[in-house]
Amino acid sequence: MATDTFWSDVDRHLVRYAGPGSFTGEIIDRAEGSFVFAEDGRRILDFTSGQMSAILGHAHPEIVETVRKQAAKLDHLFSGMLSRPVVDLARRLAETLPDPLEKALLLTTGAESNEAALRMAKLVTGKHEVVSFARSWHGMTQAAASATYSAGRKGYGPGAPGNFAIPVPSGADWQQQLDLAFDLIDAQSVGSLAACLVEPILSSGGILVPPPGYFPALQRKCRERGMLLILDEAQTGLCRTGTWYAFEHDGVVPDILTVSKTLGAGLPLAAVLTSAEIEEEAHERGYLFFTTHVSDPLPAAVGNTVLDVLIRDRLDERALQLGARLRTGLEEIATRHEAVGEIRGRGLLAGLELSGGGPDADKLGARVTQRCLELGLHMNIVQLPGMGGVFRIAPPLTAAESEIDLGLSILDEAIGDVSRS
């Protein structure tokens, strides 16, 4: 197919699902390791691990072999049937987690896992109200989208009833902020607070890391009100932040944990994990989440291979090492460019904020992103009103040090080029 025909078909037949600039101007032909390759042969370093998911890089040989073998043997079943890959993955996930998280529900996407978690929390508590961060992203299905505040709320009619937003903690007075937030929640609640659904590190909110002590304080607020704490580790789970789960850094254990993206290393796989007590209560009340691809053997087999590689190659330790190298490089870039503000994140999930304000500030991030792509680096930027935006940087955990350095070099050059122009 000619290139002009391809883009003509895009314009004619594809729904644009991400607002203005839904698609990059590249036709991607293949991917391997830390790189994707355009149809014209151009090599592009992937600093987002696909959609923040491919933690083992693209086309990891062990994932490829697992897919080949499992698809030929057992790919999909009636949702009430069980297979060994599913039970093995449930057990092995429980082994990576602290007590009492030992029960798993295997699904497909992050939105679906959050939907299932909220449905469970509402059934178990007998309540329906949900609290989330004001810059959250939890998915595009009804309950998940109703708990999402960073984008996508306008124009779609009412969300699920009983959803409340609290501020993302900032500064030394975060405890006062939290107290005030729940004073306002209590004033608005109809007495039916079921759950608090939050990310340990807000990604679409701009790689925001809540301060030490925040999550234990948030958990106390939940306990006081009989709410369940649900942590969404779609982007932070499975070693990316230097520990197996980001919540380990914060000294809390959630009532319900959701993982997705990284669990399938780029393939559609997600999980809800909870205690035997909560699962038993949900089951007694008739918990129903019977979907087409619940407990599918093919993605479960991939999840087991992901765990094999993470454990064998100690990728939690590697995320810390590469993350330190990445952060040092970003801090050096910040010293060379006035347009760069704060550097934040943890492990191999980093944020670089472009600052400055002014009428052209919102164009800055888009121009740097485009220049990076021209130079061979794929970047993702969260555009925040009145700011240049925040780059979300999440290379594969398998990236080489030279690839981290290459990405930093291209980003440095792109910021310089755009600043001079």
Per-residue pLDDT reduced to its tens digit, 211-263: 999 999 999 999 999 999 999 999 999 999 999 999 999 999 999 999 999 99
- Alpha-carbon separation of residue 275 from 69, 101, 161, 268 (angstroms): 33, 5, 27, 24
CA-nearest of 412, 248, 421, 217 to 346 is: 248
Active-site residue among 221, 318, 344, 392? 392
Token pair, residue 38, equals: 């355009």
Q: CA-CA distance, 289 to 287, in Å (whole number)?
A: 7
Residue 356 has what pLDDT? 63
Question: Catalytic residue at 250?
Answer: no
**DSSP letters along 204-228, please?**
TTTSB-PPTTHHHHHHHHHHHHTPE
- How large is the average pLDDT for residues 362-382? 92
Q: CA-CA distance, 306 to 271, in Å (whole number)?
A: 14
Active-site residue among 46, 70, 135, 235? 235
CA-nearest of 285, 278, 222, 283 to 102 is: 278
Topology annotation, domain 3-59+314-420: Aspartate Aminotransferase, domain 1 (3.90.1150)
Q: CA-CA distance, 85 to 305, in Å (whole number)?
A: 10
Residue 359 has what pLDDT? 54
Residue 385 has what pLDDT? 64
Q: CA-CA distance, 391 to 349, in Å (whole number)?
A: 10
Q: Is the model's pLDDT at 360 over the cut of 70?
A: no
Average pLDDT, the chain: 95
Residue 383 has what pLDDT? 77
- How large is the average pLDDT for residues 378-404? 89
Strand order in the sheet with 101-107: 101-107, 270-275, 256-259, 228-232, 193-198, 129-133, 163-166
- Alpha-carbon separation of residue 398 from 32, 238, 316, 408 (angstroms): 12, 13, 11, 16
Chain centroid to CA 238: 11
CATH classification code of 74-312: 3.40.640.10
Question: Catalytic residue at 199?
Answer: yes
**Phi and psi angles of residue 397, each rounded to the nearest 5 degrees, phi first:** -70, -15
Strand 349-354 versus strand 389-393 pairing type: antiparallel
Active-site residue among 112, 115, 232, 255? 232
Active-site residue among 199, 316, 353, 403? 199
Question: Catalytic residue at 183?
Answer: no
Using a 10 angstrom Cβ sphere, with 0-12 exposed, 13-18 middle and 19 or more buried, the burial of residue 119 is middle
CB-CB contact of 307 with 97 (8 Å): no
Question: Catalytic residue at 235?
Answer: yes
Residue whose structure tokens are 């149809």? 39
- How large is the average pLDDT for residues 5-16? 95
Question: Catalytic residue at 174?
Answer: no
Return left, alpha or beta for 266; rule: phi > 0 is left, psi -120 to 50 is alpha, else beta: left
Q: Is the model's pLDDT at 409 over the cut of 90?
A: yes
Using a 10 angstrom Cβ sphere, with 0-12 exposed, 13-18 middle and 19 or more buried, the burial of residue 295 is buried
Residue range 291-330, pLDDT digits in tens: 999 999 999 999 999 999 999 999 999 999 999 999 999 9
Token pair, residue 364, equals: 């800055």
Active-site residue among 135, 225, 240, 261? 261
Residue whose structure tokens are 């190298």? 325
Q: How many CB atoms lie within 10 A of CB 50?
A: 18
Running DSSP on this structure, what letter comes out for residue 418? H
| Residue ranges per structural domain of the chain | 3-59+314-420, 74-312
Q: CA-CA distance, 37 to 39, in Å (whole number)?
A: 7
Question: Catalytic residue at 137?
Answer: yes
Q: CA-CA distance, 113 to 103, in Å (whole number)?
A: 14
CA-nearest of 329, 413, 339 to 372 is: 413
Helix (H, G, I), strand (E, B), or coil: what is residue 132?
strand
> How does residue 1 score in pLDDT terms, banded at 50, 70 and 90?
low
Residue 143 has what pLDDT? 96
Q: Is the model's pLDDT at 358 over the cut of 90?
A: no
